Structure 1
Amino acid sequence: MATETLSASRTIKAYTQEATQSAHFATQSDASFHAERTRLRTRAVLVGMAVFLGTTAIVILIWSGARLVFAGTVSAGELVQFLIFALLASGALVNMSEILGTLQLVAGATERLFEILNTKTRLHLRSNPIPLPDIPIGRLEFKQVSFAYHARESEVVLKNVSLCAEPGETIAIVGLSGSGKSTLFALAQRFYDLDSGAVLVDGVDVRDTDIRTLRRRFAYVEQHSFIFSGT
């Protein structure tokens, strides 16, 4: 669930479903906690059995060693030394295997999670955003919009693009792959900031209004539908 949520972050933000997905994640985390508790109980039983068998082996070893001591085959000191070395060696090996297994399990995942959590947005969010009209008008306008992605700043995706979609009007944007069709909608919902120009939703610049309120004004159907787990 966490993997699909991170992979579809744009879809979640476009529908302002952050709170819903966070609550869903909390439910999944609770279920994971109960599953982990069951796993630990099972592991405790298995460890207990292993300790019992190990203790039984030591008892048999002492009994056999005692018989050898009485028979004069080995001395009491040699038996004690052997028992101490056996206990130390077995305990150290068990502890090392558990620690190494745990470290390998969490090291890679923890590093990547902290990278994601520490990521800062490049968008400049106003402390006093301009509210959109209470009753949506349904007007979207691009004014002399130019834009290039940060990873490819030398390749301008959009250059001086101007268009206006009036309420109730249907406009089809047609072009080759990579010509900037999806970029227009990404800019309208402010997943990126413009290099120049302005995008207006109901007469308000998308950079001046609250980003969550802005995205609630859109019913966004993606080119590739992302399927979430659920009903």
Structure 2
Amino acid sequence: MVTLLWILSLAALGLTFWAQFRVKGTFRKWAQEPASSGLTGAEVARRILDSNGLHDVAVEPVPGELTDHYDPIHRVVRLSEPVYYDSSIAAISVAAHECGHAIQHKEAYGALVLRHRMFPVVNFASSIAPFLLMGGIFLHMLNLFALGIVFFSAAVAFQLVTLPVEFNASSRAKQIMIRDGYIRNLEERGVSKVLNAAALTYVASALYALLELFRFVAMLVVSQNDD
């Protein structure tokens, strides 16, 4: 059982690398396709936020590629420079997605609220879990290993909660872009490609984390039986 879970975990890890490669490739492909609206990612973000009563949420550029995110503490949509300044299908898709998170925040979307509340605990748990797991293995201390599993479980739960948050933000983004005329019918395919590729990275990461959790639990059970 442990061996099978190990193989599945490696396969899931490979999937995460492939998903990251795919999202970058998809973004770069659709970054070459100009949006018919002619609006940049920053302009689309500003319009979406304003139309949803989020005038106080700023839109700022940040260095890097695919570094886009919504900061709920400072209430800022931060867009990577290729998204902020460009008017491609990829740029406006990513910008709309991040605005989807800002709208979730305004509406107190359940999964987002839960994720925010989990973050301080998960941040601590994910930093200490590897040490507990490794310490339990090398010191042959099952109680320490079991405690590591508990902490690791919190990190896995956080990734699972993240899935509906990301899918909902993408769904909101696409609906808004169609409704408000930021894209035409022929551009919907490109928007879906960009948003789906990004979503796949979260699915792959969650799957890998979940399989790792199962593997650790199986290791604990086998060790207890051996004793």
Q: Give the alignment's TM-score, normalised by structure 2.
A: 0.26
Specify which structure has the higher proportion of strand: 1
Specify which structure has the higher proportion of helix: 2
